[in-house]
Amino acid sequence: MKPEELEALKERALKELSSAKNLADLEALRVKYLGKKGEITQALKSLKDLTLEERKTVGAKLNELKEILEEFYKEKKNSLLLEEEDREEGIDLTLPGRKPERGALHPLTQTIEEICEIFTRLGFEIVTGPEVESDYYNFSALNIPEWHPARDMQATFYLKNGALLRTHTSPMQIRAMLERTPPLRIIAPGKVYRCDADVRHSPMFHQVEGLMIDDKTSFSDLKGILSFFAREIFGERTKVRFRPSYFPFTEPSVEMDISCVICEGKGCRVCSQTGWLEILGAGMVHPEVLKAVNYDISKWQGFAFGLGVERIAMIKFGIDDIRLFFDNHLNFLESFK
């Protein structure tokens, strides 16, 4: 069939389906166009008489038209069914209305909003950025050159054009510093992507990046702000500790642990009998990162941190399988109303 013939068939079929007055007429039209001997079916069978190139083009358009008509038929059928129910049963306007189901924000959304609320109280500004990043923002400007073994830790999704799906929200450090002059305080919540999937990891997950740059910012400020955050989100009795670690874009680097919220530090299965749970990584911004955005390292310094939202939510709500956040089971989601 020629393109103009397909368009004419589409207009005719939609017009007739739309004008159907009852279910019997609608069913007759379905058979006429979508039945075993219907016009669409016959047109698809005739594709064998076309050249390979013509079959690809016409076949794709016929399948698209078939999907459009099937969807329109379903909608029209539902509409006619409702009309028949109203005619048969009548509508009693004196009846009380149906109480709508009360929804709730997804637990990850709740966690992100709580995290952002805590840091905005401390003067941090919320910023967002692209999920498709360049190698420069995701790695190079963060002191992770091409030969650096830290790239192997990221398990990156690369795209054909050389871009990549960001592996962390840390590129927002670079973007924020290039767009602003210090002093600055920002947090950047968002989705990140890595080639990883099990009960504790997902190929797509959420992070919140934090950055503070000032002429007097110290490691004590980092410890104070993150300790305040931990107690705000997990409770006043939460204990914290900082352990030396390594990240290419911070020096010195630390990981922050909190006392286990399940056993209160006594030791249990959740904390592997240690009494502690790791919740984030942080450190003083590496001078090479500041040089990459043309900040004067003799004047400006600061700290950065990155936390996993799913990790925080799993600890906060006592969830042991990250996949529950993405399976969308109503029984699970309704528990967060």
Q: Are residues 28 and 115 in the same domain?
A: no
Q: Write out the residue range of the structural domain in which residue 21 sits.
A: 3-89
Domain end call among 30, 55, 89: 89
Q: Is the pLDDT of residue 217 over 90?
A: yes
Q: For 290-307, how does the pLDDT look when each residue is reduced to its tens digit (9 = 90+)?
A: 999 999 999 999 999 999
Residues paired with 241 in a beta bridge: 257
Does 205 map to a domain?
Answer: yes
Does 59 map to a domain?
Answer: yes
> Where are the alpha helices (H) located in the chain, listed in sequence order?
3-18, 23-34, 39-45, 52-89, 107-121, 135-138, 150-154, 171-179, 219-234, 287-292, 309-317, 324-327, 330-334
Q: Are residues 161 and 283 in the same domain?
A: yes
Average pLDDT over residues 67-75: 87
Number of structural domains, the chain?
A: 2
Task: Write down the pLDDT at residue 199.
Answer: 61
Q: Is the pLDDT of residue 165 over 80?
A: yes
Residues paired with 255 in a beta bridge: 243, 281
Q: Is the pLDDT of residue 4 over 80?
A: no
Rounded to whole angstroms, how far apart are CA atoms 294 and 308?
Answer: 29
Q: Are residues 58 and 12 in the same domain?
A: yes
Task: Write down the pLDDT at residue 16.
Answer: 87
Q: For 99-156, how does the pLDDT look when each residue is reduced to its tens digit (9 = 90+)?
A: 887 778 899 999 999 999 999 999 999 999 999 999 999 999 999 888 887 777 668 8
Q: Are residues 201 and 319 in the same domain?
A: yes
Q: Is the dihedral of CA 83, 87, 89, 93 positive or negative?
A: positive
Least confident of 41-45, 72-76, 139-143, 196-200: 196-200
Q: Are residues 73 and 43 in the same domain?
A: yes
Q: Are residues 203 and 249 in the same domain?
A: yes
Q: Are residues 141 and 181 in the same domain?
A: yes
Cα 186 to chain centroid, rounded: 20
The single-letter DSSP state of residue 266 is S
Does 99 map to a domain?
Answer: no
Does 235 map to a domain?
Answer: yes
- Residues 20, 80: contact at Cβ < 8 Å? yes
Q: Are residues 69 and 150 in the same domain?
A: no
Rounded to whole angstroms, how far apart are CA atoms 162 and 147?
Answer: 17
Task: Write down the pLDDT at residue 38.
Answer: 83
Does 174 map to a domain?
Answer: yes
CA distances from residue 93 to 78, 101, 126, 169 in whole angstroms, order as listed: 22, 21, 48, 54
Rounded to whole angstroms, how far apart are CA atoms 119 and 226?
Answer: 10
Domain end call among 31, 62, 89: 89
Any idea what the CATH number is for the domain that residue 226 is in?
A: 3.30.930.10
157-162-165 Cα angle (round to 5): 30
Q: Are residues 49 and 120 in the same domain?
A: no
Q: Are residues 324 and 180 in the same domain?
A: yes
Q: Are residues 163 and 43 in the same domain?
A: no
Does 329 map to a domain?
Answer: yes
Q: Are residues 75 and 208 in the same domain?
A: no
Does 101 map to a domain?
Answer: no
